[in-house]
């Protein structure tokens, strides 16, 4: 990883520069979210995303205690960005939202995808696809909040239930190509939280 110019600019500067740097870092989580919500996906935009992520990770703001990690990440999170490579998407599939819900009381992570699917040009269906996983903490001394995942169930639910896709397997294949592997099949995955605040969470899958 490399240090961005903003991270290196404080040395030897005036106090006013330090205050400006502090303000910049406080605004960085909101800047990242705003950037991702308006990003075009071009190379320059990806480089800017990478810069923001590196700057946040360098703060080393993440929970080390598993109990506090459980408390801090519990609830619903929306996926805004992934570095995972995905296959060419199926133009008949639209993803309306990709979310994760952490259930710390039951040790579950639920990845929930809202989808719309078109078959034969005029057969439109919609629904949700859920990947339900158990999580546990490992015994790595340097990363006590490192999580290990094991998939418990996959659930495909059309809405309404009486209007399913004609070919569910085709839909599953389309979802597999469109989603990061860590979302579609996180079985055996190991994840570290490398940055966390109330609105932004950065995760590294190993």
Instruction: Check residue 18 and give its pLDDT.
Output: 57
Which contacts qualify for 147-152: CB closer than 8 Å, 24 or more apart? Answer: 147/190, 147/191, 147/192, 148/188, 148/189, 148/190, 149/109, 149/186, 149/187, 149/188, 149/189, 149/190, 149/191, 150/187, 150/188, 151/185, 151/186, 151/187, 152/108
Average of per-residue pLDDT values in the chain: 86
Give the separation between CA 15 and CA 113, rounded to whole angstroms: 47
Task: Flag whether pLDDT at 7 surpasses 80.
Answer: no
Task: Flag whether pLDDT at 14 surpasses 50.
Answer: no
Could you give phi then psi for residue 23, rounded to 5 degrees?
-65, -40
Count other Cβ atoms within 10 Å, centred on residue 127. 20
Q: What is the pLDDT of residues 95-121, one digit of tens each?
A: 999 999 999 889 999 999 999 999 998
Q: Quick one: residue 157, left, alpha or beta (phi over 0 = left, psi -120 to 50 = alpha)?
A: beta
Give the separation between CA 157 and CA 161, rounded to whole angstroms: 7
pTM: 0.82
60, 106, 135, 169 from 103: Cα distances, Å:
24, 6, 10, 29
Q: What is the pLDDT of residues 125-172, one digit of tens each?
A: 999 999 999 999 988 888 889 999 999 999 999 999 999 999 999 999
Instruction: Check residue 37 and give its pLDDT.
Output: 87
Task: Flag whether pLDDT at 177 surpasses 90.
Answer: yes
């Amino acid at each position: 990883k490399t240090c961005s110019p903003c991270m290196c600019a404080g040395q030897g500067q005036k106090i006013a520069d330090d205050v400006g740097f502090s303000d910049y870092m406080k605004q960085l989580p909101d800047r990242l979210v705003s950037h991702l919500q308006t990003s075009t996906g071009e190379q320059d935009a990806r480089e800017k995303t990478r810069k923001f992520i590196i700057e946040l990770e360098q703060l080393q703001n993440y929970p080390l205690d598993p109990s506090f990690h459980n408390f801090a990440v519990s609830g619903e999170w929306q996926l805004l960005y992934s570095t995972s490579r995905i296959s060419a998407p199926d133009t008949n599939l639209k993803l309306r939202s990709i979310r994760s819900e952490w259930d710390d009381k039951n040790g579950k992570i639920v990845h929930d995808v809202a989808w719309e699917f078109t078959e034969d040009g005029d057969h439109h269906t919609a629904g949700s696809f859920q990947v339900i996983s158990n999580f546990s903490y490992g015994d790595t001394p340097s990363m006590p909040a490192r999580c290990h995942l094991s998939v418990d169930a996959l659930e495909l639910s059309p809405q309404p239930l009486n209007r399913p896709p004609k070919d569910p397997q085709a839909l599953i294949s389309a979802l597999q190509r469109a989603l990061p592997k860590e979302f579609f099949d996180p079985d055996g995955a190991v994840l570290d939280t490398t940055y966390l605040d109330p609105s932004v969470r950065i995760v590294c899958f190993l």
